[in-house]
Chain A
């Protein structure tokens, strides 16, 4: 919805912003949490900690939205993040924490992400198989690779400073991971809204055959989308490893459900063709904020699955029920005619 609000003057778009339900949901949530936790929730420190906590998910969301827009899904994001983080850390450790090895480590990690995405893309575009199943299965494969890389140990990596900077640096007082998230969001926004590729993603997600007949190389589009999803997951995993100063195979377990929740809450349709990056980031922010609020209220993160389940089911069911209503209305109208 955000991208549609581009016409009109500045005051016009401001009015549109005021009308956006998303803004109000955000304001109400902040208000409620501030009242429940006076002096704790709405502080600068807590806001930064919320931003920090969602930066990892935020980076992932920027890429994972692509398969969703195609009507597919990528459930392997958590595993890819773990494997990429592990690959990066292991490379650095094996090269005596030298600075150049940070670069090779990062490239190695990103390479894993791209490779996994490439495999997903090729399989999904070639065979008529459900994407969720393929990415679920590869979640196990990639998780196994992460275990092999770490030898099932926690590998600490405190040096060098360049690596620590990725997740822990604070240029101008802003955590670097947040900057990465912002940059990724801008890149995704640019790709989806300003490039031919972005246009074809929406077209393929909305109608594969019509896109093919319009000359879109849909197979290529699908492969690139999954590769991008793999890339951002890997990047998130590397930043996470840097933030934690360690690599562990279980690093990003459960992140896939956070990412999925954010996307679904952010208005992406699982049927494909609908959704945008502002919504997804908004979703990540909202879910991160509520998680933070719940934690402040003393509810451990283990219980947040209850809340995520309710939110996902509510969002998807609302979307599906509205669609059904629309078709149902037509049917009812027809029946009315038949009575008269």
Chain B
């Protein structure tokens, strides 16, 4: 709506670029996330955008689609300077984003979804024939395979994505952003999507393709931009895209030898937890490992590789199809209350949705897992409850220093501390902690690391899931790398570099990488 076309300054010589972002700056709470980033996309090209978690990819995209305002810099579209203040501005320009969370109406047909909000009518009634014809034309123009009369809920995720893309195209989109589009697709569906992307390119539509999967980028991208720590690290042409090189760029060359892991080794303590051939159909398969007492076992891997699902099954939160779990030599059946009694604990990935009850105070949240000691015959010892709450607030320096404050009112870091505090006073045997530091500040991070080490030194087995490479290398005693629902590699002796770990996360075998690099 508030789109400004400053023609005087904005009009330049006809640009070879469809989109140019220049000197984009953005910080959150004085924390710079994008530092003077340039980014450009040519018409009809597939431009891949890569970078580690927190490199600034999603922030850049959110600025482009009008979700975040930028702090500085300029955006040119079609050679004209534009302001994008909200989603409407973006879609008016012809920029659309295919989100992982799809936004279709499941009970309507493909045609109805594509035409939603811009129905064709004659005399107050829907002109179904015309709408269908338009959709069929659209489908044919881009060579898709889709039944225009199928209900969207009867389509697979891949087909739904196709509908989303068609919806974008029907709004004359010239730039389509795809954020991890293959995350929940089967390999066949991914192939279909790649074909669609090829068709888009042939029709002059540009695509910004964000993915962690190197082989896809290698196959699809015409150009590749690598972001690192809020800076554009490199722009590679198609023939320059070499997987190992991309990984090096993402980590940063200078860091290659400086940032090393702990000295990994297999603990000589007795085995506490053993998992044999654990399988959940379509999610992960044949997961086997042993975890020792006092060991921090890291689960590294890309988002969506299946790490969270594995540890949730071990905790008893989800069912599995086959395999066995042994705790101190005895096979256990999945049950959360029984596992908690055994000394299991979970700090879930989705903090707000699964970690705490926002309306309840810190004290009540912390107490929820501790009523076996805080209550007698089902009656709560309010004094003990209060003492535990205050103790935890003090011990973890949860701010504000008041155990009566609802957890929902705390900052992210303090919320996470409150979640961890649930388990802190217990005699923990197996502590499962999933992305413990996502979205929290550095001070709170260090606090969490200290707690993890504390757990380990007291003989607790810690299973740590983390997407933060530096974190998992620093904290873990041993690392299992999970890719595509299976354990791809184990790092259990000597030191490794970030590069080693990242290569493994991308599923690249190192020897092969050496040859390529």
Question: A: which residues have CB within 8 A of B?
Answer: 4, 194-200, 202-203, 206-207, 209-217, 273-274, 337-338
A-B contact count (CB 8 A): 76
**Interface residue? B355 (CB, 8 A):** yes
B350 → chain A closest CB, angstroms: 8
A213-B346 CB under 8 A given contacts A194-B382, A196-B371, A199-B371: yes
Chain B, residues 352-390, CB within 8 Å of chain A (1/0): the string is 011111111000100111010001001110100000000
The docked-state distance in angstroms from the alpha carbon of A257 to that of B404 is 34
Select one of B354, B367, B378 contacting A195, CB under 8 A: B378
The docked-state distance in angstroms from the alpha carbon of A216 to that of B370 is 11
5 tightest A-B CB contacts, nearest first:
A206-B357, A338-B69, A215-B340, A207-B357, A196-B371
A214-B369 CB under 8 A given contacts A194-B379, A196-B378, A197-B378: yes
Residues of A with C-beta under 8 A to B86 = 338
Residues of B with C-beta under 8 A to A194 = 379-380, 382
Contact A213 B357 (CB under 8 A): no
The docked-state distance in angstroms from the alpha carbon of A213 to that of B356 is 9
A212-B317 CB under 8 A given contacts A196-B375, A200-B368, A338-B69: yes
Chain B residues bordering chain A, tally (CB within 8 A): 30
Residues of B with C-beta under 8 A to A338 = 69, 85-86
A43 → chain B closest CB, angstroms: 41
Residues of A with C-beta under 8 A to B301 = none
**B336 to chain A: closest residue by CB:** A215
Contact B354 A206 (CB under 8 A): no
Contact A203 B340 (CB under 8 A): no
A-B contact pairs, 10 of them (CB 8 A): A194-B379, A196-B371, A197-B378, A203-B360, A207-B354, A207-B358, A210-B357, A212-B317, A213-B317, A214-B340
Residues of B with C-beta under 8 A to A215 = 336-337, 340, 368-369
Residues of B with C-beta under 8 A to A199 = 364, 367-368, 371, 380
The docked-state distance in angstroms from the alpha carbon of A327 to that of B508 is 45
**Interface residue? B422 (CB, 8 A):** yes
Select one of A196, A203, A217, A337 contacting B357, CB under 8 A: A203
Chain A interface helix/strand/loop/mixed: helix
The docked-state distance in angstroms from the alpha carbon of A210 to that of B419 is 10
The docked-state distance in angstroms from the alpha carbon of A274 to that of B360 is 9
**A206 to chain B: closest residue by CB:** B357
Residues of A with C-beta under 8 A to B358 = 206-207
The docked-state distance in angstroms from the alpha carbon of A194 to that of B383 is 11
Chain B, residues 315-337, CB within 8 Å of chain A (1/0): the string is 10100000000000000000011
Contact B371 A213 (CB under 8 A): no
Contact A213 B360 (CB under 8 A): no
**B337 to chain A: closest residue by CB:** A215
Contact B359 A210 (CB under 8 A): no
The docked-state distance in angstroms from the alpha carbon of A215 to that of B360 is 17
A242 → chain B closest CB, angstroms: 32
Residues of B with C-beta under 8 A to A209 = 353-354
Contact B356 A210 (CB under 8 A): yes
**Interface residue? B348 (CB, 8 A):** yes
The docked-state distance in angstroms from the alpha carbon of A337 to that of B68 is 9
* From A198, A200, A213, A216, residue with most partner B Cβ within 10 Å: A213
